[in-house]
Structure 1
Amino acid sequence: MPDTRTAEPRTRDLPEHVTTPLLTLITARSMDEDYAHVARKKAAAGVAPATATRSRPHWASLVAIGVLGVLAAVVAAQTDREAAVTELSRAALIEQIDARRAEVRDLQHGVADLTRSNAAAASKGVTVQSQLDDLETRVRRAELWTGYTPVHGPGVRITVDNRPGVDVNGEIRDEDLAVLVDGLFQAGAEAIAINDQRINALGGIRNTSRAIHVNGRPVNAPYVVSVIGDNKTLQARLLESSEGQEWFALVNGLGFVYTPQNVDDIRLPAAPERPLRGVIEDDVDPDGTPGGGTTAP
């Protein structure tokens, strides 16, 4: 039986330059020729072959490698220490930030409390100021009616004098001036003064022998009665009042000199202040405790 197997090519006995690929062979031979050319130049220049240099130990390289290793170890250790310090600093910084945040929150709460307190105080201040304004108005009104403040305004100036050659029995007396003053108040007078002595509740018109005293001070004829009020109606309303009619009866019967004059601006002084004696506040007990008190005469 014939052998049908194909014979394997006998490549093992061929030269290397035959079996080597063409591109690899060209590259290798070109590099070998270059190395050979460089080696011939070094030999001509007296330079030892590279193999001799390679056989020497590279102590400088070893030292450099060792130094580099030491430096790497030092840097690593330093980095570890700095990392620990950095971590501590970061923790301390975070703690300070937290503390400052707590302080800021406390300050914000304090500011809010102060703002509320200020608003409450402002509101209370407005209320108190309104009360003070009301009290001031009431005080001014009370001073006006009681005569304890100077006033000015339009009114009537009345001059009253005794009849010439009259005897003692025909002279003007305190009760005569009191009738005129009562009639003027009934006619709408707001403030009255006799010879610059302001008439008020605590003052009075009194006779001492032949002298007339107003607020405890003597006044002499002629008596100038200054009245603040509506000078357009005051004299007419005086004639209509009962006291006014009584006064004009005295004027006609005893012959008093009566001279009225309308004035655009009359200035009256304040009445002299006098202390109150024996007076207890209306809602205070006699022993000074509030509630249930009466006014003593």
Structure 2
Amino acid sequence: MADTRAGESTAPGGPETGRPLPEHVTTPLLTLITARSMDEDYAHVAQKRADAGEPRPQASRPHWSSALAVAALGVMAAVVAVQTDREAPANELSRAALVEQIDSRSDDVRALQADVARLTRFNAAVASNSTGTQADLEDIEARVRRAELTSGFSPVHGPGVRITVDNRPGGDVDGEVLDEDLATLVDGLFEAGAEAVAINDQRINALGGIRNTSRAIHVNGRPVNAPYVVAAIGDPRTLQARLVETYQGQQWFGRVNNFGFVYEAENVDDIRLPAAPERVLRDVIELDAAPYGGPAQEGSSP
């Protein structure tokens, strides 16, 4: 018989007997305490209700409306699932159509961007050409203004000399100023440095002229009467002195002395002369043009 040590005890169902241990032995202590305390609480509450004569609470069964709601939710979920499954091909087609539209719009945007870039380059080229053209136009306008001033087809103003010429007092024919007398004076003024000359507000230029018709003088085809006011724009400090030194000026002053013309000259700070009347050219041919108005042939003699 085996010895039994002090402090050791054998319990029924132990390893020696081969039976399983009770639940309160194998259950962890914390779990066992919690469970038993809750069971005891429930038992205590139930005992108090029994002592008070209250009926024991019956287990509540689910109401038919709750079951119906659950069923309806299930049906709706099934319908949604079926509808989603049916619409899947259509959604896929819509997605493919959207992707195709996006690709098409992207191609259109790239084409528009290319057009914008091309138009931007074109505008830059036009602006550059416009700048060059504007410079050319300004140069041409300056040349035209100079040509108009030189030819007399533009009104001008500036300092100069105003000369008043009249017939000899007494009214005899020998003392009348003729066209050739005024022409001599005008030629002398131009040779002395005058830049523009007018007689009684009739501008003298290459297409105009001073002519006698009977006893009347016509300038640019228009009659002028004595006294004749000859206005010349030039340097007032030297114009009169240089007029005396010119050949035409000496001829003019000789006629003044011989025929007794009235001659008065004064320097003026600002003289305004009109433009000469325009005349249509009928017989003038451009130097580099053909005789009949066509372009000149290469190698043709002028």
In which range does the TM-score fall when normalised by the shorter chain?
0.7 to 0.9
Contact 2:197 2:231 in 1 (8 A): yes
Confirm or deny that 1:169 pairs with 2:174.
yes
Q: Does 1:194 align with 2:189?
A: no
Structure 2 distance, partners of 1:277, 1:229, is: 32
Change in 2 beyond 3 A, CA 1:77/1:188: same
Contact 2:174 2:259 in 1 (8 A): no
* Partner deviation per Cα, 1:200-221 (whole Å, 9 max, x = no partner): 1111111122222111122222
Structure 1 position 252, deviation (Å): 1.9
Residues 162 and 221, structure 1, Cα contact 8 Å, conserved in 2: yes
Alpha carbons of structure 1 residues 14 and 185: separation in structure 2 relative to 1, 3 Å = same
Verify: 1:282 aligned to 2:287, yes or no.
yes
- Tell me if structure 2 keeps the 8 A contact 1:283–1:292: no
Pair 1:120-2:125 in alignment: yes
Partner of 1:219: 224
Which shifted more, 279-288 or 190-199? 279-288
Equivalent pair of 1:193/1:268 in contact (CA under 8 Å)? yes
Instruction: Give distance in 2, aligned partners of 1:67 and 1:271.
Output: 108
Q: Give distance in 1, aligned partners of 2:93 and 2:283.
A: 84
Aligned partners of 1:62, 1:223: CA distance in 2, in Å? Answer: 130
Structure 1 residue aligned with 2:260: 255
CA 292–163 in structure 1, closer or farther in 2 if over 3 Å, else same? farther
The list of structure 1 runs, each at least 4 consecutive aligned residues, that deviate by more than 6 angstroms after superposition, is 10-13, 44-47, 60-69
What number of residue pairs does the alignment pair up?
278
Partner of 1:57: none
Q: 1:23 aligns with which of 22, 25, 50?
A: 25
> Could you say what secondary structure the match of 1:207 adopts?
strand
Deviations 1:236-264 (A, max 9, x none): 11111111112112122222221101111
Moved more, 246-255 or 188-197: 246-255
Aligned AA (1:171)? E
2-side partners of 1:64 and 1:208: how far apart?
128
Q: Deviations over 1:57-115 (max 9, x none)?
A: xxx99999987776554343223234333333322222222122111111111111111
- Tell me, what secondary structure is at the counterpart of 1:106? helix
Q: Which moved more, 1:153-162 or 1:80-89?
A: 80-89
Q: 1:213 to 1:78 in 2, by over 3 A?
A: same
* Change beyond 3 A, Cα 1:284–1:20: same
Change in CA separation of 1:198 and 1:83 when aligned onto 2, cut-off 3 Å:
same
Could you say what secondary structure the match of 1:118 adopts?
A: helix
The whole-number CA distance in structure 2 between the counterparts of 1:210 and 1:196 is 20
Q: Does 1:179 align with 2:184?
A: yes
The separation in 2 between residues aligned to 1:214 and 1:107, in whole angstroms, is 68
CA drift of 1:149 comes to 2.0
Q: Following superposition of structure 1 onto structure 2, how do residues 59-138 of structure 1 map, counting pairs within 5 Å?
A: 73-138=78-143
Q: Is the 8 A contact 1:156 1:229 kept in 2?
A: yes
Aligned residues of 2:188 and 2:243 also touching (Cα < 8 A): yes
Stretches of structure 1 that go unaligned for 5 or more consecutive residues are 1-9, 51-59
Partner residue in 1 for 2:296: 291
Q: Which AA in structure 2 matches 1:135?
A: I
In structure 2, relative to structure 1, the CA distance for the partners of 1:23 and 1:169 (3 Å cut) is same
Distance 2:73 2:296 in 1: 103
After TM superposition, give the deviation of residue 196 of structure 1 in Å: 1.5
Alignment-mate amino acid for residue 244 of structure 1: G
Match of 2:244 in 1: 239
Question: Is the Cα–Cα contact under 8 Å of residues 156 and 274 in structure 2 kept in the other structure?
Answer: yes
1:203–1:215 Cα contact (<8 Å) kept: yes
128 and 92 in structure 1: CA distance in 2 versus 1, 3 angstrom threshold: same
Give the partner amino acid of 2:291.
Answer: P
Farther-moved stretch of structure 1 (80-89 vs 132-141) = 80-89
Q: Secondary structure at the match of 1:109?
A: helix
Mark the runs of 5 or more structure 2 residues left unpaired by the alignment: 1-12, 48-52, 60-64
Distance in 2 between the 1:220 and 1:65 partners? 126
Secondary structure of the structure 1 residue equivalent to 2:162 = strand
Once the two structures are TM-superposed, the CA of residue 279 in structure 1 deviates from its matched residue by 2.1
